[in-house]
Structure 1
Amino acid sequence: MMEYLIGECNYGGKLQDDWDKKILKSILKRFINKEIIFCQDYSLNENDKTYFLPVRYDYKDFIQCIKSLPPNPHPEVYGLNKNAGVMRNLSISNKLLDALLNIFGENVYNKLKTSDHYVYNIAENILLKMPDSFDTEEILNQFSTNNNECLVSVLFQELLAFTYLQDVVKSSLTDLLNAIKGLTVLTPDLEDILTSLGSSLVPKVWQKCSYSSLKPLGSYISDLIERINLFQKWFSFGKPKDFWISGFYFPHSFMSAVKQDFARKNKISVLELTFDYEILKTKRAENYPDVGAFLYGIHLLGARWDEIKQSLEEEFPMVMYEELPLLWVKPCLKNELKGERKYTCPLYRTTERKDILKIHLEEKNIKEIYLHLNSARSYSSRKS
């Protein structure tokens, strides 16, 4: 009853992510189990004897025990790595800074950063850095003559999405420059762009048609240019040997296309297929895969990949994110999937952890069940 009330109603009711709920339930099992009742010297934390249950079960004994507990317990008490505490503190700090920016943002912008000349230079530099937009007619002609593979459809979809985003960025910056010059009226949207650029934030107008990203303005522009160049090379020189999965606008479409191309080639139903995954001992591909696709740009949080043991291991202290080696995604029949002991790892697009893809990682050599549950906090690409 207690486990259900806490795990599902109290704390669990505030969690939206199913993987966070799994972590919570795993933590609760450390504190709510039969050993607490039948083992008199049961310790809530093996490495810290501060956390114990009173031998006597009187009300005053429990109150005294609760009062003796530290007000700010360290992450190890819950079976978490020290990095979890660092991440918590960073999250609290970021929320505080965001709140201060919301309160004093306009004043900071007006007093410290500036002038219209400052924002004018930023907008002008972004326009100079932005590559040429894709030729939509050329894309359509190319697609109409070469659409045998589903991956070509994915490329077409990505090119159109980035073309639209490019046009929005360029046109809005051009309008802003004209407004600063006094040639046009400063509309509410342009005023938002003006304030955002002065605060090094991505304008809301861009976010509405953008891929998921939590990056500040400078990193966002660099990331956008890198993504555009990636698909420009694919369009100009053909399919790459490996794919930067974090750079896709629609990663789900890419994964579906890999499966559909395999189904067409082997003349089987796509409903009979699933994915098998193999982590290689290299960062980038030298050759094309026999089947499926090679993916890079995936990062782990809450765990690391041991290339020697070929398994998930506990993360190193103060190393928050670690890049996963090249991931080989292999379509296969569901009834042929190897029955090895693997861990289903969620793959998120950003650190907000909203959209999920699932991959399976080897979990052999993991010493405690909580480690691989904690690695459920692994994310997709540092796209954010």
Structure 2
Amino acid sequence: MMRALRPDRMVYAMRWFIEQKLGSKYVHARSVEYEKSHEETSSVVAVFFILSPGVDPTRDVERVGKKVGFSSDRKNFHNVSLGQGQEIVAERAMETGSKLGHWVILQNIHLVTKWLPTLDKRMEAAQSKPHPDFRLFISAEPAADPAFHAIPQGVLESSIKITNERPAGMQANIHKALDNFSQDTLEMCSKEAEFKAILFSLCYFHAVVAERRKFGPQGWNRKYPFNVGDLTISVNVLFNYLENNNTVPWEDLRYLFGEIMYGGHITDDRDRRLCRTYLQEYMCPDLLEGDLYYCPGFQAPPNTDYPGYHKYIDAMLPPESPILYGLHPNAEYNFLTTQAATLFNTIFELQPREGGGEAGETISKEDKVKGVLDEIYDKLGESFQVHEMMAKTEDRSPFTIVAFQECERMNILTNEMKRSLKELSLGLKGELTITSDMEILQESLYVDKVPEAWANKAYPSNLGLAAWFVDQQLRQKELEVWTGDFILPATIWLGGLFNPQSFLTAIEQTTARRNEWPLDKMCLQFDVTKRIREEFSSAPREGAYLSMLYMEGARWDIMLGSIVESKPKELYPLLPVIHARAILVDKADLRSVYECPAYKTKLRGPTFVWYFNLKSKQKPAKWILAGVGILLGV
């Protein structure tokens, strides 16, 4: 009942159920201090750190090492970050450490998979007759898939495995960030007030970028390994710049933090823009004047001592909410719903593959697969006769070329579907030997999952097989209407195209040919109309009408003609039809405009399509932090 009525509360309900039935220790994870784990180490037992995003165990090892007399300054602590050419350095460090009783830490061994068998042998040799003080520490990220596991069994069996999850929630993350410093750190700069204020702002920024990943693609388009090292190095840079400048060099600091320290991890342009925007909001003169609010209800703290900052966080930080990150509260609903769906999909995949029917009947896996197979095969449409269509029409406008390309892509997909379904049908009848590809297809049909062979030739989609096939049929019908007379439809379902970028480019090409404008001096202007798809009967004289577009993180207000806040629980409001037309770049009006990224699916990231310039009565930073985007399909 809870899953049906409130899927966003499902995770909380399950946590409560587990706590009631099994005990609180199964839901409240507490990290063990490394000092306690270190007591179990010895010269013949290595420590293997399984890395989690945002967690860096190196500092814990260095801290414990200093207490017992091991550090880089004393030249008895060797820290080797594995990468190209570092294997020899690591081998020498292990050999030296084993003989002289040094500490050795080898970071990121997953980056040198070819060297790992050698590491296994070197570890065995180093631990055969080591110095009693010798300690070996290893770190690696877990493989994304079991097929990519590369760590030798010997390395794992001879090590103590330790992993620490990053702290959950904004409050825990800010405290954790601040824990990397001390009262001495706060007092080390001659510009103490400025240094303290910016250091706290860096801690808040670090907590935001680290914890924002929990909101999935709306948080960050891609996953990034932000860690404590980024924060501590940024503070060192801050100290040096404040000491060497009479005034605070805001622009320089924002560039160093946003483009190098943290930005060095970022590979997506939209994410880079988000990182820059956070720094523009948190690193500005208002911070020193006491007028800065990190989020509604949480003002930058006054000048105080180290314990005072921790107390201020506990007393003043609002309860955990997407608002702390600049996101709309709907982001949490979306995140929790997705989390619950993933949980139940995992449970479903673990279930036995034979199901009982009603009235004592049993539906076997094979019978169910046959039913799905026959239904899809019977409904698949005929292939487009592209060569015949090209012979019948003399029109070779950019729009017509796009239509031909879409037909060819649809043919590739439907032909693959027909071929693989026919093979599986013959295999189930015993007329062909069942191959591994057939088994994969059979399993996909059974669990309502789009087969990988089809997905590779299709368009990005998050749908299950049944919904995906309905969507594919709609796309084919749209193409049939368009290619019937090759007259541009009244509105274009942009998300129904394999390559929507090619259609948007065709708008520019058509206008460029008509007006003899240079293509590289043009851009698209997007005007949001006040009408829906059904109210249009013909295409515009210039450009095209785009329909079936959705917003995430905000909505469009027809009366105001602007982006506004989303309504509660309205996750993907439908946009009115948008008129896209090409204009010269120097005539584009960019005042009061938000460059809204458009994506093919909710996964965002690699599915980026185009920037839609939408009118906004609020500054663009608000919508950037809120992760506002246009989705071509939900």
TM-score (norm 1): 0.86
Note the 1:118-133 alignment, pairs <5 A: 118-133=368-383
> Does structure 1 retain, via aligned residues, the 8 Å contact 2:448–2:464?
yes
| Matched residue SS, 1:322 | coil
Cα distance, 1:179 vs. partner?
Answer: 1.1
- Aligned residue for 2:609? 356
Instruction: Pick one of 227, 236, 239 that aligns with 2:484.
Output: 236
Give 1:329's aligned residue: 580
Change (3 A) 1:86 1:69: farther
1:293 matched to 2:538? The reply is no
CA distance in 1 between partners of 2:328 and 2:624 (Å): 12
Q: 2:443 aligns with which of 163, 177, 195?
A: 195
For residues 253 and 52 of structure 1, the distance between their equivalents in structure 2, rounded to whole angstroms, comes to 47
1:117-156 alignment runs, 5 A limit: 117-142=367-392, 145-156=393-404
Please report how far the alpha carbon of residue 289 of structure 1 lies from its aligned counterpart in structure 2 after TM superposition. 0.7
| Residue 309 to residue 42, structure 1, CA distance change in 2 (3 Å) | closer
- SS of the residue corresponding to residue 289 of structure 1 reads coil
2-side partners of 1:295 and 1:52: how far apart? Answer: 43
Q: Relative to structure 1, is the Cα distance of residues 84 and 169 closer, same or farther in structure 2, using a 3 angstrom cutoff?
A: same
- 1:318-358 per-residue CA deviation (whole Å, 9 max, x = no partner) reads 11111111111111222333354322111111111123311
Unaligned runs of 5+ in 1: none
Given the superposition, is the C-alpha separation of residues 281 and 118 from structure 1 closer, same or farther in structure 2, using an over 3 Å criterion? Answer: same
Distance, in Å, in 2 between the alignment partners of 1:73 and 1:8 is: 28
Choose from 74, 93, 109 the match for 2:353: 109
What is aligned with 1:166? 414
**Structure 2 residue 524 is the aligned partner of structure 1 residue 282:** no
- Provide the identity percentage: 25
Shift in CA distance, 339/360, structure 1 to aligned 2, threshold 3 Å: closer
Mapping 1:29-48, distance limit 5 Å: 31-39=282-290, 44-47=294-297
Q: Which residue identity does 2:632 align to in structure 1?
A: S
Residue type matched to 2:508 in 1? K
Aligned-pair Cα RMSD in Å: 2.8
- Measure, in 2, the Cα distance between the counterparts of 1:6 and 1:86: 31
**Which residue in the other structure is 1:90 paired with?**
337
Cα distance change, pair 332–43 in 1 and its aligned pair in 2 (3 A): closer
Distance 1:242 1:117, change over 3 A: same
Partner of 1:178: 426
Q: Give the C-alpha shift of residue 130 in structure 1.
A: 1.9
Counterpart mapping for 1:190-269 below 5 A: 190-239=438-487, 240-269=489-518
Deviation at 1:224, TM superposition (A): 0.3
Q: Contact 2:403 / 2:483 at 8 angstroms: preserved in 1?
A: yes
Shift of residue 235, structure 1, vs aligned partner: 1.0
- Residues in 2 aligned to 1:207 and 1:380: alpha-carbon distance in whole angstroms: 19
Q: Rate the CA distance shift 1:288–1:53 in 2: closer, same or farther, 3 A.
A: closer
Conserved? CA contact 1:314–1:371, under 8 Å: no
CA distance in 2, matches of 1:141, 1:42: 66
* Structure 1 residue 188: Cα displacement: 1.0
Q: Which structure would you say has the larger RCO, counting Cα contacts within 8 Å and 6 or more residues apart? A: 1
Residues 277 and 625 of structure 2 are in contact (CA less than 8 Å); yes or no, is this contact kept in structure 1? Answer: no
Change (3 A) 1:26 1:337: closer
Cross-structure match for 2:624 = 373
Aligned-partner Cα distance in 2 for 1:295–1:34: 43
State the distance in 2 between where 1:111 and 1:15 align: 46
| Distance in structure 1 (CA, Å) of the matches to 2:395 and 2:596 | 33
1:205 maps to a residue whose letter is A
- Range moving further from structure 2, 279-288 or 132-141: 132-141
- Structure 2: state its 5+ residue gaps: 1-233, 236-253, 357-362
Q: How does 1:12-91 map to 2 (within 5 A)?
A: 12=263, 15-28=266-279, 31-39=282-290, 44-47=294-297, 51=298, 55=302, 57-66=304-313, 73-91=320-338
The answer as to whether partners of 1:146 and 1:152 remain within 8 angstroms in 2 is no
- CA distance, structure 1, for counterparts of residue 257 and residue 613 of structure 2: 29
What letter is aligned with 2:492?
A: F
3-state SS of paired residue (2:296): coil
- For residues 292 and 161 of structure 1, do their structure 2 counterparts lie closer, same or farther at Cα, with a shift above 3 Å needed? same
1:226-253 superposed Cα distances (whole Å, 9 cap, x missing partner): 0000011111143212111111111111
Which letter maps to 1:206?
W
- Of stretches 16-25 and 185-194 in structure 1, the one that deviates more from structure 2 is 16-25
Letter in 2 for 1:241: A
8 Å CA contact retained: 1:350, 1:379: no
User: Which deviates more from structure 2 when the two are superposed, residues 61-70 or residues 227-236?
Assistant: 61-70
Residue 52 of structure 1, CA deviation: 5.7
Task: Provide closer, same or farther for how the CA distance between residues 46 and 67 of structure 1 changes in structure 2, counting only shifts above 3 A.
Answer: closer
Higher mean C-alpha deviation, range 336-345 or range 192-201: 336-345
* Deviation digits for residues 181-226 of structure 1 (CA, Å, limit 9, x no counterpart): 1111111111111001111000011011111112110111000000
Matches of 1:377 and 1:15, distance apart in 2:
19
Moved more, 257-266 or 14-23: 14-23
SS in 2 for 1:329: strand
Contact 2:327–2:627 under 8 Å retained in 1: no
- Number of matched pairs: 372
3-state SS, counterpart of residue 582 of structure 2? strand
Shift of 1:374: 3.8
Q: Indicate how the Cα distance of structure 1 residues 129 and 69 shifts in structure 2: closer, same or farther if over 3 A, else same.
A: farther
Aligned-residue offset at 1:84: 1.5
Normalised by the size of structure 2, how large is the TM-score?
A: 0.54
SS of residue matched to 2:530 = coil
Letter in 1 for 2:615: E
CA distance in 2, matches of 1:61, 1:291: 62
Instruction: Give the residue type in structure 1 aligned to 2:546.
Output: L
- Cα contact 2:328–2:626 (8 A) shared by 1: no
SS in 2 for 1:162: helix
How far did residue 80 of structure 1 move?
2.1
In structure 2, do the counterparts of structure 1 residues 282 and 71 end up closer, same or farther at CA, with 3 Å as the change threshold?
A: closer
- CA drift of 1:373 comes to 1.6
Question: Could you tell me how far apart the structure 2 residues matched to 1:373 and 1:68 are?
Answer: 29
* Residues 599 and 609 in structure 2, CA contact (< 8 A), matched pair in contact too: yes
Is the contact between residue 596 and residue 629 of structure 2 (CA under 8 Å) also seen in structure 1? yes
Secondary structure of 1:211 counterpart:
coil
